[in-house]
Chain A
């Protein structure tokens, strides 16, 4: 188990997102390969951030010029949330 403050990792791996068009938030953006029905290739983007960031389902995030809707927020129990994103 790591002993560092997880927030320190945002300095190296964090991306800045704009929440609801106005607020800058920092988290780790991951856009890994995914497939649908085993026949449509695409991505499954997620944004991991401290729960204190306050992202909730329905928020919009603009990351790298792409707009996403937060379709799910999964708290991992350690003070971090995994936000599942859907491209607008």
Chain B
């Protein structure tokens, strides 16, 4: 049985596949080869869980990170901003309740082709019953 976290991550990956800039280069992993840029990495990170007041319901607040990566050319800022615009537009149609809470930008010259990234952090809110983490209510 898949945890609801996995279901949510996979749903986000499906929704964000096919965007103009990143196309099918959407990965549910934490490491990709440089040849894959520009791409999106989708990860589900920390989660805050609040015991509900009704029965065994748990109110869960999941941090979903959508990271756009691109080679650092002279137009990398434009590319990263375009990725963010495409992701934000698509996420408006996400089936789970979500709020964009943070946007971070960075550049790194560690590789033979410097890279830039933009991280869009979403707070996903969903409910499960205690002991049934695979079924969101």
Residues of A within 8 A of B (CB): 31, 34-45, 68, 71, 85-87
The answer to whether B106 touches A39, judged by C-beta atoms less than 8 angstroms apart, is no
Residues of B within 8 A of A (CB): 30-34, 37, 41, 67, 69, 106, 108-115, 117
Nearest A residue to B36 via CB reads A40
Known: A39-B30, A39-B67, A39-B69. A44 touches B110 (CB 8 A): yes
| Other-chain residue from A41, A68, A87 in contact with B31 (beta carbon distance below 8 A) | A41
**Chain B contacts for A42, CB-based, 8 A:** 33-34, 110-113
Nearest A residue to B113 via CB reads A87
**Chain A contacts for B115, CB-based, 8 A:** 36-37, 40
29 of the cross-chain contacts (CB-CB < 8 Å) are A31-B112, A36-B108, A36-B110, A36-B111, A37-B69, A37-B106, A37-B108, A37-B117, A38-B30, A39-B31, A39-B32, A39-B41, A40-B31, A40-B111, A40-B115, A41-B32, A42-B33, A42-B34, A42-B110, A42-B112, A43-B34, A43-B111, A44-B111, A44-B112, A71-B109, A85-B112, A86-B112, A86-B114, A87-B112
Q: Closest approach, in angstroms, between the C-beta of B103 and any C-beta of chain A? A: 15
Known: A37-B106, A40-B69. A68 touches B112 (CB 8 A): yes
Q: With the chains together, A36 CA to B32 CA distance in Å? A: 10
**Chain B contacts for A44, CB-based, 8 A:** 110-112
The answer to whether A40 touches B112, judged by C-beta atoms less than 8 angstroms apart, is no
